[in-house]
């Protein structure tokens, strides 16, 4: 548990979905969803909402330092917190309920199923469907008492200069790495085009699930999981100077995945019971029975 943070610092958002709601406003779906985007935009200008999102990013940008990420890796990548069969983990994740915003919110399982069902409907390979289905399971970090800004939020490289294409770049001025000469140049501790595998990202649900599943899924799936919140790159191209050619090839998959994550919300919630047998088989095909958290 993180006793070094106050409750307000640990949970600046009413719930963690507010980060994704904000993403949809920042990156509205082109054309067909304009009307919806307009609606969201109205909500967005509800000033309280903007303030919580701003607070969230301020904390995220202040505290996600190179050392912080290293500490979190040591803490969580031993996977010694909990062992759960896959479906128990889904139930566990689903206890992350949103009680403050009943209108807009799906539970976690519904978001996962809407994402994966949209992928399936487009005829993509089964491992891509599975990726949609599990991509946010790393959010269980919240249930281990982690602050929201160390679970969700746009991710970005640490150990080098923060791009001004990251949302609210001005908040990085409060980050100790901002003044640290090892970390505050364009390349920082990295070589030009070193490849993202050599680059430490800010800590959150993406890296955590990637590390948990890296031995079980094809490489494009792993890129989608690991970098799906790296908006500064997949939407803005802000870190081209760190990517190698292989990353560029693989980011085509990250790009392909993103619309399913952001825009797959449909009015009718998925029929969890009817879909479960298909997903049980799919999970059994690729993943071990029990996951270590
Ligand atoms: Fe996510
Ligand atoms: Fe998601």
> Cα(31) to centroid of ligand 1, in Å?
24
> Cα(181) to centroid of ligand 2, in Å?
35
> Cα(161) to centroid of ligand 1, in Å?
24
> Does an H or E element contain 44, and which?
helix 34-44
> Cα(228) to centroid of ligand 2, in Å?
8
Instruction: For the chain, give every domain's residue range.
Output: 7-292
- What ligand has the least distance to the C-alpha of 205? 1
Q: How far apart are CA 142 and CA 49, in angstroms?
A: 21
Burial annotation 75-97 (CB, 10 A radius, 16+ → b, else e): ebeeeeeeebebeebbebbeebe
In this prediction, residue 101 carries a pLDDT of 47
Q: How far apart are CA 54 and CA 37, in angstroms?
A: 20
> Cα(258) to centroid of ligand 2, in Å?
9
**Nearest 5 degrees, angle CA 131-CA 134-CA 140?**
150
> Cα(57) to centroid of ligand 1, in Å?
16
Q: Give the sign of the dihedral formed by CA 221, CA 79, CA 65, CA 244.
A: negative
> Cα(179) to centroid of ligand 1, in Å?
30
> Cα(22) to centroid of ligand 1, in Å?
13
Backbone angles phi, psi at 290, to 5 degrees: -120, 135
Please report, in tens digits, the pLDDT of each residue of the chain (293 residues total): 456 899 889 999 988 888 988 999 899 987 655 555 555 555 555 677 788 999 999 999 999 999 999 999 999 999 999 999 999 999 999 888 654 444 456 788 999 999 999 999 999 999 999 999 999 999 999 999 999 999 999 999 999 999 999 999 999 999 999 999 999 999 999 999 999 999 999 999 999 999 999 999 999 999 999 999 999 999 999 999 999 999 999 999 999 999 999 998 777 889 999 999 999 999 999 999 999 99
CB atoms under 10 Å from CB of 186, counted, come to 11
């Amino acid at each position: 548990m993180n006793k070094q943070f106050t409750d307000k610092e640990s949970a600046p958002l009413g719930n963690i979905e507010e980060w994704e709601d904000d993403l949809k406003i920042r990156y509205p779906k082109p054309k067909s969803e304009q009307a919806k985007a307009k609606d969201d935009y109205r909500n967005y200008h509800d000033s309280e909402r903007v303030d919580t999102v701003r607070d969230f990013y301020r904390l995220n940008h202040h505290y996600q330092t190179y050392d912080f990420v290293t500490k979190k890796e040591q803490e969580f990548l031993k996977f010694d917190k909990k062992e759960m069969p896959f479906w128990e983990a889904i139930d566990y994740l689903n206890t992350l309920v949103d009680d403050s915003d009943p209108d807009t919110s799906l539970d976690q399982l519904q978001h996962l199923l809407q994402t994966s069902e949209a992928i399936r409907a487009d005829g993509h390979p089964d491992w891509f469907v599975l990726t949609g289905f599990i991509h946010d399971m790393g959010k269980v970090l919240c249930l281990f008492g982690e602050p929201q800004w160390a679970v969700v939020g746009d991710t970005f490289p640490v150990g080098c200069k923060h791009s001004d294409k990251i949302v609210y770049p001005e908040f990085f001025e409060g980050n100790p790495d901002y003044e640290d000469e090892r970390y505050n140049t364009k390349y920082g501790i990295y070589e030009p085009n070193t490849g993202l595998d050599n680059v430490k990202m800010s800590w959150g649900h993406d890296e955590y699930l990637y590390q948990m599943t890296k031995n079980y899924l094809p490489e494009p799936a792993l890129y989608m999981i690991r970098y799906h919140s790296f908006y500064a790159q997949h939407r803005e191209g802000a870190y081209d100077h760190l990517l190698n050619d292989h990353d560029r090839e693989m980011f085509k998959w990250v790009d392909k995945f993103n619309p399913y994550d952001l825009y797959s919300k449909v009015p009718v919630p998925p029929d969890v019971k009817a879909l479960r047998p298909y997903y049980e088989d799919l999970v059994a095909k690729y993943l071990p029975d029990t996951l270590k958290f």
